[in-house]
Amino acid sequence: MLFFPMTNQATRRLFNGILLFFILCCAHTAVCAADSAMDTMLHTTTSYFKPVQGKIFAVEGKRVVLTIGAKDSVKAGMRFQILREEAPFRHPVTKEPLGKLESLVGKLQVREASGDASTGEIIEGDAKEGDTIRISEIKINLLFCQSRDTDWQLAEFYYRKLKDTGRFQIIDTALETDKPEEILVEARRLHADVALHLTMKKAEAETFLIQNLYWVSDGLKFGAMETKVDQALAKELAFGEEFFTLEKHQPLTQFEVPTSARFLIMCDVDGDRNKELIFSTGRDLIVYALDRDLHPALGGVTIKGSMQDNHIWIDSTDLNKNNKDEIIITSMKGEDIISSVYEYDGKEFTLIYQDNVFMRKMGDKLIAQSYSRNLGFDGEVFYLQWEGVLKKGDALKLPGDVNIYDFVFFEDPKAGRLLLAYDENGYLNVYDENAMRLWRSKTSAGDFLTTFKKNAPSVMVDRGGWSVKDRLIFKQKDILYVKRIPFFDIVKGFGYKKSQIRSLQWNGYSMEESIVIDGVDGTILDYAVTSDNIFVLASPLFGIRAGNILKGESPVKKELYIYPLKGM
């Protein structure tokens, strides 16, 4: 998509709309030529979700006959809810009947449609003669996914057409694949009802845009269509992208955040399928929501720490599989490490578990490691299993000097599971399952922000230190990490002039590196990745924004930058 770094989403949508309007005006002839083809595919797509209602005429096992057919816009592949009338609903005072309640008893899919009748198959629940069938006017949750070889501008053009119908709640994803199974896994993770996949093919001098539709619940493909790409339109859209797009490292938007913010995670703590932003101040956790602006969520509820708390890591995962994420806080309290697990009960966060270990999420599991005052990280990293409480599980097989916050796993088609891990000097290393090192980065990612000295018998003895590494996030085939550029290369501790988020991709022999986000002023403190955006928490050089002094504003600032993941 095309974005401008405006300060709110409504303004960005306005500018994107103006941009697209300008491009289409310049390409009026091409657009008109392409519209008939694109609109045919669009009409075919929306036709599966046209709001319509009818009755079940007859039931024979799983086969049903419906009282509506092609003349009512019914077509094979449609799915209807089956609703059954219950007891009349009466006025609580006058007792007059106000209508009848309906309950959802099943779902069916249309197999064949004739003029004024159609047949279908029950795919969930049951049905009986006289039941109502309906496709409601509620927006369809649709995952929009494309393959790597699909022209980005054409996909965006079609994406906007789908959005403009008002029929879909479109769910973006950074996944680019040709594999239906991967698409469906992503769609289920993001709670989509339907998955739409775009790809392209070339035949002689012509290019075709191909679309497949899948019902997410059972993975059934119900719509396959293709349209010839108008080359004039493709050229005009490419011109608009080249002429108007800002540097790809520009953020979508940015917000000022609490100056005490040190860590950031995104998770759904109340089970409403919308992620909250959780900031750690080092002692307390503050919950924010992001819609048109950034504001406190859940009525301003927080997790308050004590004066001794010094958070070194925060994380989240759905431990008890109740569709709500629990918050994991690992804190240095005095000379001890304590990890706490909190769950939101609808009113406040309650402590459900606590232990003297380091904790971290890995995939959909929780892992831990013991703590020693003399060593910091101590012993093996092991899984934690939730059985009403957390219990110690199997140990992970890791190289001897790799600790809980150092690593991430990824897959190689030939070598199997590999591990990318930091060492104490900030270099990145790849190990195989036998702990043999296969690759090492040429340069260091820089110093880490959270470091501690190991206990020593006297102040005259320096036993070194231990550090909590920056997040390594595996996204599709890429591993993201933070690199900080010192203000003076030869003087440590003077601060960072800028920071980057970089990407590593394994080619079977070594890591191929690229810059995903460049030029973040000052220090990246933490970051989080969703299906379509990267959220970056940063502090300017020396922790101040000098320009604010001239404006009469406080120069002490921390900021949240939001970057688009799509297209990077």
Return the CATH number at 494: 2.120.10
Q: 340 with 383, same domain?
A: yes
Vertex 417 angle, CA 411 and 418, to 5°: 90
In a domain, 556, yes or no: yes
Q: 99 with 160, same domain?
A: no
Q: What is the structure's pLDDT at 89?
A: 62
In a domain, 1, yes or no: no
Looking at per-residue confidence, does 55 or 414 come out higher?
55
Return the CATH number at 149: 3.40.50.10610
CA distance 281 to 258: 8
Q: 359 with 461, same domain?
A: yes
Query: Is residue 263's pLDDT more than 60?
Result: yes
Domain boundary among 244, 262, 295: 244
Tokens 């190991």 belong to which residue? 454
Query: Is residue 26's pLDDT more than 60?
Result: no
Give φ, ψ of 303 to 5 degrees. -110, 110
Dihedral angle computed from the Cα positions of residues 505, 142, 178 and 535, in that order, rounded to the nearest 10 degrees: -10
Q: What is the structure's pLDDT at 32?
A: 45
User: What is the arithmetic mean of pLDDT over 97-114?
Assistant: 85
In a domain, 428, yes or no: yes
Structure tokens at 389: 């409480």
Q: What is the structure's pLDDT at 494?
A: 60
Q: 313 with 371, same domain?
A: yes
CA distance 32 to 101: 48
Q: 374 with 409, same domain?
A: yes
Domain boundary among 244, 272, 307: 244
Q: What is the pLDDT of residues 196-205, one digit of tens each?
A: 999 988 877 7
CA distance 94 to 6: 55
Query: DSSP assignment of 392-455, as one string?
Result: EEEEP---TT--TTSEEEEEETTTEEEEEEE-TTS-EEEE-TTS-EEEE-SS-----SEEEEPP
Q: 444 with 552, same domain?
A: yes
Dihedral angle computed from the Cα positions of residues 348, 352, 354 and 360, in that order, rounded to the nearest 10 degrees: -90
Q: What is the structure's pLDDT at 87?
A: 66
Q: What is the structure's pLDDT at 85?
A: 86
Structure tokens at 223: 């719509």
CB 522 within 8 A of CB 546: no
Query: DSSP assignment of 140-180, as one string?
Result: EEEEEEE-TTS-HHHHHHHHHHHHHTT-EEEE----B-S-H
Looking at per-residue confidence, does 553 or 142 come out higher?
142
Of 467, 563, 470, which is closest to residue 515 (Cα–Cα)?
A: 563
In a domain, 342, yes or no: yes
User: Strand 302-303 and strand 311-317: pairing?
Assistant: unpaired
Amino acid letter, 159: Y
Share of the chain above pLDDT 70, in %: 82
User: What is the arithmetic mean of pLDDT over 98-103?
Assistant: 71
Query: Is residue 417's pLDDT more than 70?
Result: yes
The three-class DSSP label of residue 209 is strand
HEC letters along 29-43: HHHHHHHHHHHHHHH
Return the CATH number at 89: 2.40.10.410
Looking at per-residue confidence, does 98 or 183 come out higher?
183
In a domain, 4, yes or no: no
Q: Which helix H or strand E contains 181, and what residues bound it?
A: helix 180-189
User: What is the arithmetic mean of pLDDT over 430-436?
Assistant: 94
Average pLDDT, the chain: 84
Name the residue range of residue 240's domain.
9-47+139-244
Domain boundary among 195, 226, 244: 244
Q: What is the structure's pLDDT at 96?
A: 66
CA distance 403 to 360: 11
Looking at per-residue confidence, does 467 or 549 come out higher?
467
Q: What is the structure's pLDDT at 541?
A: 73
Q: What is the structure's pLDDT at 204?
A: 73
Q: pTM of the prediction?
A: 0.59
Spell out a b/e string for 307-342, using b for 16 or more CB atoms within 10 Å of the CB, else e.
Answer: eebebbbbbbbbbeeeebbbbbbbbbeeeebbbbbb
Looking at per-residue confidence, does 9 or 127 come out higher?
127
Q: What is the structure's pLDDT at 251?
A: 80
pLDDT band at residue 292 using 50, 70 and 90 as cut-offs? low
Q: What is the pLDDT of residues 143-153, one digit of tens each?
A: 999 898 887 77
Query: DSSP assignment of 105-149, as one string?
Result: EEEEEEEEE-SS-EEEEEEEE---TT-EEEE-SSPEEEEEEE-TT
Q: What is the structure's pLDDT at 6?
A: 37
Query: Is residue 241's pLDDT more than 60?
Result: no
Number of structural domains, the chain?
3
Q: 98 with 209, same domain?
A: no
Q: Angle formed by the axes of helices 9-26 and 28-47, to 10°?
A: 120
In a domain, 3, yes or no: no
In a domain, 2, yes or no: no
Q: 399 with 442, same domain?
A: yes
pLDDT band at residue 414 using 50, 70 and 90 as cut-offs? confident
Looking at per-residue confidence, does 48 or 290 come out higher?
48
Share of the chain above pLDDT 90, in %: 55
Query: Is residue 5's pLDDT more than 80?
Result: no
Of 103, 106, 104, which is closest to residue 126 (Cα–Cα)?
A: 106
Q: What is the structure's pLDDT at 542?
A: 60
The three-class DSSP label of residue 512 is strand
User: What is the arithmetic mean of pLDDT over 218-237?
Assistant: 78
Query: Is residue 33's pLDDT more than 50?
Result: no
pLDDT band at residue 159 using 50, 70 and 90 as cut-offs? confident
Q: 101 with 149, same domain?
A: no
CA distance 260 to 557: 9
Q: 203 with 191, same domain?
A: yes
User: Range with the lowest mean pLDDT among 142-146, 256-260, 359-363, 435-439?
Assistant: 256-260
Q: What is the pLDDT of residues 300-355, one digit of tens each?
A: 899 999 989 999 999 999 998 899 999 999 999 988 999 999 999 999 999 999 99
In a domain, 546, yes or no: yes
CA distance 439 to 488: 28
Q: What is the structure's pLDDT at 566?
A: 62
Query: Is residue 565's pLDDT more than 90?
Result: no
Q: What is the pLDDT of residues 487-533, one digit of tens each?
A: 765 445 567 888 999 999 999 889 999 999 987 889 999 999 988 78
Looking at per-residue confidence, does 304 or 231 come out higher?
304
CA distance 329 to 423: 23
Q: What is the pLDDT of residues 463-496, one digit of tens each?
A: 788 999 999 999 878 999 999 988 765 445 567 8
CA distance 113 to 68: 8
Q: What is the structure's pLDDT at 28?
A: 43
Of 11, 20, 15, which is closest to residue 154 (Cα–Cα)?
A: 20
Q: What is the structure's pLDDT at 485?
A: 86
Q: 71 with 147, same domain?
A: no
Q: 203 with 330, same domain?
A: no
